[in-house]
Structure 1
Amino acid sequence: MANSPLSIAMISDFFHPNVGGVENHIYMLSVNLLRRGHKVIVITHSYPPDRVGVRWLLPGLKVYYIPFTTLVSSATLPDFLTFLPYFRNIILRERITLIHAHASLSALGHEGILHAHLLGVRTVFTDHSLFGFADAASILTNKLLEATMRTVGATICVSHTGRENTVLRANLAPEDVYVIPNSLIADQFLPAATPLTSDTVTIVVVSRLAYRKGVDLLVAAAPRICAACPNVRFVVGGDGPKLIDLLQMREKYFLQDRIELLGPVLHRDVPKVLTRGAIFLNTSLTEAFGTAILEAACAGLYIVSTRVGGVPEILPEDMISFALPTEDDIFRAIVEAIDIVQHGKHDPHRAHERIRGFYDWKQVAVRTEKVYRAVMDSPPQNLWTRIERTMGLGPFVGPIFTIILAVDCLFFMCLEYWYPREDIDYVDKQWGKHRFEEVLET
């Protein structure tokens, strides 16, 4: 039926308790799909010291933490077969009809799409990042993504720039890729109740302190900005390998009273940090969307950002100043932004109301549901079609992934024999729904 509830499994290596754009996207999308009457579970890997097994997150989201250890950057080692017994058991016992995998670097996501067709489950994939084409890591990742996309039902990207990037990397038809942006809860990011009356202009940076986030540009530009603008101070929140560079820069230029380093900031504390400032600075070298920028704009800050990736798609031109990813241009854009905020050309409360009208998780859930319906209404792929598409990867890669596909099918047949479906402890269809309704009532 067109409006019948779906049973959806979100699969990714990146989920809570980690904090990040992908993690928040999966959680908020899942919650809003639950509110629309669908069944949603999350499948991810375990987290030390004891986050393993089944957990529940408010307001009734069931999470399976599979006992896998991570390899690097919260991602597990892709081995294709180890995940299948867990995946088969969960999908069958929860009566899942569609899986939604997230992130190109998620091994669990790729494996979930590979295994899904064995159980007659439809698939959707969301790409959250931008990748290059020249370095070895990007080449391998792109080929894996292309192999996965050969059998996926639909692909979603969080920006039009991300869509172009994914289309090129995975060799997809542009018309087969949807664009659905990230969003936020506007009520969590309110501007300061009273205007900042001090002559001091505070520039806020909240970011993972890594090379990709352009922290080297911040290290180079901050001393120049402090020297040219005596009334400017920085508040920097975040952690990462580049924190030591910021500490050394602050010591070198004696800016301990002008640059405050907060260290790691919990997501619930981000609004408090944002309302301390008037300008938000983003120096990223690559960015598919930029949720931190959206949150800062919603909190009433004027934005200065490098013009990279999908950032130009996020905000109207009068709410943001762009800079090239160079020290000189970031300095120019900051000086321009200081003039804007000091002369009252930016209204924080009007900016908040505009963001509230632009972005809403309810609309993201509605648009994603339409993609789900289109996938469910499309004809299924049989094994021969999957083999043909996989062989189309090329004379070298095609046979390798076809062998993986064949071994996967044989292993699945063994599991069907060793652990028959009638022996699986199936979940009560209504139990999770009742739990969700009880939580809402309380």
Structure 2
Amino acid sequence: MENATGERIADQIGRFQTQLQMDGRGRKHRILMVSDFFFPNFGGVESHIYYLSQCLLKLGHKVVVMTHAYGKRSGVRYVTGGLKVYYVPWKPFLMQNTLPTLFLTFPIVRTILIREKISVVHGHQAFSTLCHEALMHARTMGYKVVFTDHSLYGFADAGSIHMNKVLQFTLADIDQAICVSHTSKENTVLRSGISPEKVFMVPNAVDTAMFTPSPNRLSCDEIVIVVISRLVYRKGADLLVEVIPEVCRLFPKVRFIVGGDGPKRVRIEEMREKFSLQDRVEMLGAVPHAQVRSVLISEAFCIAILEAASCGLLTVSTRVGGVPEVLPDDMVVLAEPAPEDMVRAVRKAIDMLPGIDPHVMHLRMKKLYSWDDVAKRTEIVYDRAMQSPQTDLLERLPRYLTCGAWAGKLFCLVMIINYLLWCLLEYLQPTEGIEEVPDIRPVHARLESVDETCETQGKGN
């Protein structure tokens, strides 16, 4: 019986290797996007996964998303463009993250991988528990894996130390990694110890069709500064508490609109009361992503970088992380993360406003940032991942030993247990007993096929 189980696993690995080699010679990829962060939750990671998946579908790849259940949204759903989403029945534990279980997610991850005939597993965000566990299970089963890091983290505080060790474990056996800026790449390499040759820089993008300039430009009699962000410390919400009163004192024609929610919202509201700025500082609360443009296009200035620039607005931001890489110098005013320097930057931006042409800026953004370009660059990363050599458990274990004297041994133990669990699952439910789902071509692909057929018939007539 044990020999039969071993033969099934060996046969499955052989089929995986054959499929991966064929994919590496030009066949379209079959991608599973995994993250705890996806719609209906709103944020940068959620938008990145959605827009990237849509563009990959247009390129002819199969894309499936796996995330945890959101309220009553559970099971299998289809969103725009025929994108299939698995909302697995795990509830969020903290900040939209599922409770870490290590092994309990293996059965459902394995079933999805086999049913959808996946060839590449792409995990997103270092804070996502589901991402780390899915990548671990995928490597155990012999799949190619790619990881995208969306954030910067430090090295000194307790939270960062633990997160960096988890990232070191995940990236010890990764095929390729993606970072959204050169600063992020340097940060990820230092935190995880991954080889820089395995890390690609692929920036975020913006849907310029969604964020367009207002047809009617505002009068210079009033300047409105818009802030759309999560009101948390790492987004600079504490700076607003000191910057807003000073800017209002220096510029009587300036008023603020603050969109977003978070623990620092109370401090901003207290500041507004303290300085009697109720008529000059408007608090919108949480703003759905679909309504962000309607807020931005009515204003002459804001801090939301890509969306604001696409709307033809001048941007002010702090000179931290990868922010200086986002826009050219004539489209953004950067400041040090200090109140007095932020006030200086706002003054400079207000002086620059008369020379800003929103429509010219929008056209520049269309050339600078495109999700189609991001998808093509990500496609190259998948090709590189497919070309990486296939390794068995004994070849992979030494990679984990480099993660530390004690951590390395612990990581090896975790992977050995995970491999044994895979053998048990193969015995209890063989791969042959899991039905593969038929592929459904996306709507846009079917429409293109119809257009080609009509064009061919037209030529024939």
TM range (shorter): over 0.9
Match of 2:280 among 240, 253, 258: 258
Matched, 1:5 2:34: no
CA distance in 2, matches of 1:259, 1:413: 61
CA distance in 2, matches of 1:102, 1:383: 24
CA distance in 1, matches of 2:352, 2:220: 15
TM-score, normalization by structure 2: 0.90
Q: Quote how far apart the aligned CAs of 1:330 are.
A: 0.6
**In the alignment, residue 370 of structure 1 is paired with which amino acid?**
I
Contact 1:60 1:439 in 2 (8 A): no
- Deviation >6 Å, runs of 4+: 439-442
1:137-152 mapped onto 2 (5 Å cutoff): 137-152=159-174
1:43-192 mapped onto 2 (5 Å cutoff): 43-48=66-71, 50-192=72-214
**In the alignment, residue 365 of structure 1 is paired with which amino acid?**
A
Q: Quote how far apart the aligned CAs of 1:120 are.
A: 2.2
**In the alignment, residue 356 of structure 2 is paired with which amino acid?**
H
Matched, 1:407 2:429: no
Match of 1:338 among 344, 350, 369: 350
Aligned to 1:381: 391
Aligned to 2:37: 14
Contact 2:36 2:98 in 1 (8 A): yes
Matched, 1:248 2:270: yes
**In the alignment, residue 124 of structure 1 is paired with which amino acid?**
V
CA distance in 1, matches of 2:339, 2:373: 38
Aligned to 1:293: 305
Aligned to 1:426: 436
CA distance in 2, matches of 1:78, 1:410: 19
Q: Quote how far apart the aligned CAs of 1:367 are.
A: 0.6
**In the alignment, residue 422 of structure 1 is paired with which amino acid?**
E
- In the TM superposition, what whole-angstrom CA distance separates every residue of 1:366-390 from its partner, at most 9, and x where no partner exists? 1100110111012112211211111
Is there any run of 5+ residues in structure 2 with no aligned partner, and where? 1-21, 452-461
Q: Quote how far apart the aligned CAs of 1:54 are.
A: 0.4
Match of 1:237 among 256, 259, 276: 259
Contact 2:181 2:203 in 1 (8 A): yes
Contact 1:9 1:98 in 2 (8 A): yes
- In the TM superposition, what whole-angstrom CA distance separates every residue of 1:246-277 from its partner, at most 9, and x where no partner exists? 11111111111101111111101101111121
- In the TM superposition, what whole-angstrom CA distance separates every residue of 1:82-141 from its partner, at most 9, and x where no partner exists? 110000100001100110000001111111111112322100000000000001111111
SS at match of 1:59: helix
CA distance in 2, matches of 1:247, 1:374: 50
CA distance in 2, matches of 1:237, 1:35: 33
CA distance in 2, matches of 1:172, 1:227: 49
CA distance in 1, matches of 2:317, 2:444: 40
- The change in CA–CA distance for 1:44 and 1:326 in structure 2 (over 3 A counts) is same
Aligned to 2:332: 320
Contact 2:227 2:258 in 1 (8 A): yes
Q: Quote how far apart the aligned CAs of 1:438 are.
A: 5.0
SS at match of 2:123: strand
Q: Quote how far apart the aligned CAs of 1:436 are.
A: 5.9
Bigger-Rg structure (1/2) = 2
Quick one: percent identity of the two aligned structures? 47
Aligned to 1:205: 227
CA distance in 1, matches of 2:139, 2:153: 27
SS at match of 2:355: coil
SS at match of 1:393: coil
**In the alignment, residue 373 of structure 1 is paired with which amino acid?**
D
Contact 2:83 2:442 in 1 (8 A): no
Q: Quote how far apart the aligned CAs of 1:297 are.
A: 0.8
Match of 2:374 among 364, 369, 392: 364
CA distance in 1, matches of 2:261, 2:447: 34
Is there any run of 5+ residues in structure 1 with no aligned partner, and where? 282-291
Q: Quote how far apart the aligned CAs of 1:214 are.
A: 1.0
CA distance in 2, matches of 1:372, 1:274: 36
Contact 2:140 2:415 in 1 (8 A): no
Aligned to 2:426: 416
- The change in CA–CA distance for 1:434 and 1:157 in structure 2 (over 3 A counts) is closer
**In the alignment, residue 338 of structure 1 is paired with which amino acid?**
I
SS at match of 2:135: helix
